[in-house]
Amino acid sequence: MRLQTGDMMRKRWGLAAIILVATATLVFWSVGRTPPYHLLHLKTYLTNAQGLQAGAEVRIAGVVVGKVTDVRVRTDLPENPAEVSLLLQTSYDLRLPADSVVLLETAGILGGVFLEISIKGANGPPVGDNATLKAISSSTPSLTAEQILTRLSSLVDQKLCDPARPKSASTPARIKR
């Protein structure tokens, strides 16, 4: 009976040693490997965030390369109080020039707001992690869907209520009851 207990103890120690070696090998192997993606944390400061929210896309040349992680107001920065944090994540090393600029864009008439990083004309050294990119105003002011509908509604109201508007055959006749 004593021999069986000793044999069992040796088997248990042997099994524990195998598990320990396998775990150590796995840990050392995974630590030496680089992750399959590259991360870049950036910030930019906007005059008006126009409803930009965390989770919005960040694009370069129309390609989604990351997302907005946070949008907050900085009252100590009255010129550009909207602080936007970005996380760029790609499967390749993205060597973004430090003099790239950020634009706030809208995806179509009714689409959401997103950030576009423009590299046009940029030729500076690659931006580092936790850097700040300059934001510029878009050449075309973007309107939200609500602003477009409000403007259309007021335009239609002006045209329908215009007393100088001539009556035409296309004007619906009022039905008397």
For the stretch 139-172, pLDDT in tens is 555 566 676 778 778 778 777 766 665 655 555 5
Predicted confidence (pLDDT) per residue in 95-137, tens digit: 999 999 999 998 877 778 999 999 999 999 999 999 999 999 7
Residue spans of beta strands (DSSP E) within 27-80: 38-46, 57-60, 63-73
Tell me the Ramachandran region of residue 121: left when phi exceeds 0, alpha when psi lies from -120 to 50, beta otherwise.
left
Percent of the chain past pLDDT 90, that is, above it, reads 51
Would you state the pLDDT for residue 84?
97
pLDDT, the chain, mean: 83
Please tell me whether the overall predicted TM-score, pTM, comes out greater than 0.75 for this model: no
**Which is more confidently placed, 13 or 102?**
102
Report the SS3 class of residue 130. coil
